Amino acid sequence: MFSRKKQPPIKSLIAQGTRIEGDVHFAEGMRIDGEVVGDIRAGSEQPSILVISETARVEGAVHADHVIVNGQVVGPVHAAELLELQPKAKITGNVHYKALEMHQGAVIAGQMCPVAVLVEEKPPLKLASNGQ
């Protein structure tokens, strides 16, 4: 779904020194450098990316297609496509992901739950016979 070239644009920023108390809903892309106490959820109409920077702290559930963490999250993280944990990431809570990229130094204190990928059941193969 995501290539390095076609990520959604980051249109929203919660700057360092800013604290938001309450749930946050966003579309396409968001970067957090400050603090959020509440759930963060991307809209489902289009692909989404959420960047939680080294200076950021989130207390609440996180939901987006592509989640990049280099700060602190206290709560569950749900990445519908890709979860990237950079070296200073610290997550206290369960993580749910389709694909995971974890750098040395990142910490998860919780369960790692890969999202089940539905695989189409294929019909059994029939061996070719020699006609006997």
pLDDT of 41 reads: 97
Instruction: Provide the residue range defining the domain that includes 64.
Output: 10-114
Q: In this structure, is residue 54 part of a structural domain?
A: yes
Render pLDDT for 65-81 as a digit per residue (tens, 0 to 9). 999 999 999 999 999 99
Q: Please give the structure tokens belonging to residue 73.
A: 């999250």
The confidence band for 45, taking pLDDT boundaries of 50, 70 and 90, is confident
Number of domains in the chain: 1
Q: Average the pLDDT over 73-96 and give the result.
A: 97
Residue 121 lies in a domain: no
Q: C-alpha dihedral over 105, 106, 107, 110, to 10 degrees? A: -150
Residue at 63 is within a domain: yes
pLDDT surpassing 70 at residue 55:
yes
Question: Bridge-partner residues for 102, per DSSP?
Answer: 85
**What is the chain's mean pLDDT, rounded?**
90
Residue 71 belongs to a domain: yes
Q: Is residue 16 very low, low, confident or very high in pLDDT (cuts 50, 70, 90)?
A: very high
DSSP string of 66-83, one letter each residue: EEEESSEEES-EEEEEEE
Would you say residue 129 lies in a domain?
A: no
Residue 7: band (very low, low, confident or very high) from pLDDT cuts 50, 70, 90: confident
CB-based contacts of 121-130 (< 8 A; 24+ apart in sequence) = none
Interval 99-111: pLDDT, tens = 999 999 999 999 9
pLDDT value of residue 6: 78
